[in-house]
Amino acid sequence: MRRRSLVVLVVAAVAAAVVTPLALARAGEGDGGAGHPSGQGSAAAPAAPADAGLAKGFIDLTGGTPAAQQDGVAAFEGTGVPGLAKCRQYKILSLAANRYIAEEQSLTGTAHNMLRARTAPGQTGAWEVFEICSDDGGHLVHLRAASNYLVTAEFAYTGRNTGMLRGRGEWTDIWETFDVWTDAGKYYLRNVSRGTYFTCRLDYTGQYYQEMKATGSAPGAWEALWFDAI
């Protein structure tokens, strides 16, 4: 009788050892419900670019013509930003929203010049044009918006506005610098100050609907971009 009880206990222990990891693995699937998995990017995606199967990418700047100052150094007009080697104009599509990113110059206060993926294909204008500039062949990039200011990740903001992307920068610092990653034809821009990605907030409402922020913790659907050269 004791032998039979011992056998039963051993079998039960083995079964528990097998079932428990499976249960834990399944419990981690689909975290976040039907909406976006996390407030900061796609939590279901791997946390590090190397684990996500991404490759270091670049934005093609061939044919870009920088504006020259009198001393021959390339520069931005209207911002006083030191010169960069190459610039090229692009429209940027958020694949999750299927909308082009616009600089919202009509908004006021801290939302002035906020980036938002709100323009349908075929309806783009000046606010959807960004000049992408780089001095290393397009791997590290800076984006000049239609206002002539650099796109800045506002990490000094708090609450829901933390990491808002907007045209405000007047010089190239870490909040204005992004590295480029690619995967299966999709592009991702990661802010070098925090290691977080451009993300489109499809869960916001009102004037903040589809706001672009630099808070994506991993490269998921809300972080995927496409670049159309002009």
pLDDT in tens, 27-77: 222 222 333 222 233 323 333 444 457 899 999 988 655 444 444 444 433
- Residue matched to tokens 């907030």: 201
One domain for residues 86 and 176: yes
Quote the domain boundaries for residue 152: 37-229
- pLDDT tens, 109-126? 999 999 999 999 999 999
Query: Within this chain, do residues 208 and 161 fall inside the same structural domain, yes or no?
Result: yes
Q: What is the CATH number of the domain that holds 210?
A: 2.80.10.50
Element housing 21 (H / E): helix 2-27
Q: Which two tokens stand for residue 5?
A: 């009880």
User: Residues of 55-78 as b/e, b for ≥16 C-beta within 10 angstroms?
Assistant: eebbbebeebebeeeeeeebbbee
Q: Token pair of 79, please?
A: 């911002």
Q: What is each CA distance from 42 to 75, 86, 90, 97, 117, in whole angstroms?
A: 36, 32, 25, 15, 18
Give the span between the Cα atoms of 42 and 183, in whole angstroms.
15
Q: Residue 144: which pLDDT band, with cuts at 50, 70 and 90? A: very high
Q: Is 84 exposed, middle or buried (0-12, 13-18, 19+ CB in 10 A)?
A: buried
- Provide mean pLDDT across the span 193-211: 95
Shared domain check, 98 and 204: yes
pLDDT of residue 215: 97
The answer on 111 and 10 residing in a single domain is no
Are 89 and 18 in a shared domain? no
Structural domains of the chain, count: 2
Mark whether 45 and 65 lie in a shared domain. Answer: yes
Is residue 11 located within the same domain as residue 65?
A: no
The pLDDT value recorded for residue 63 is 65
197 and 91 inside one domain: yes
Decide: pTM greater than 0.85: no
Same domain, 17 and 44: no
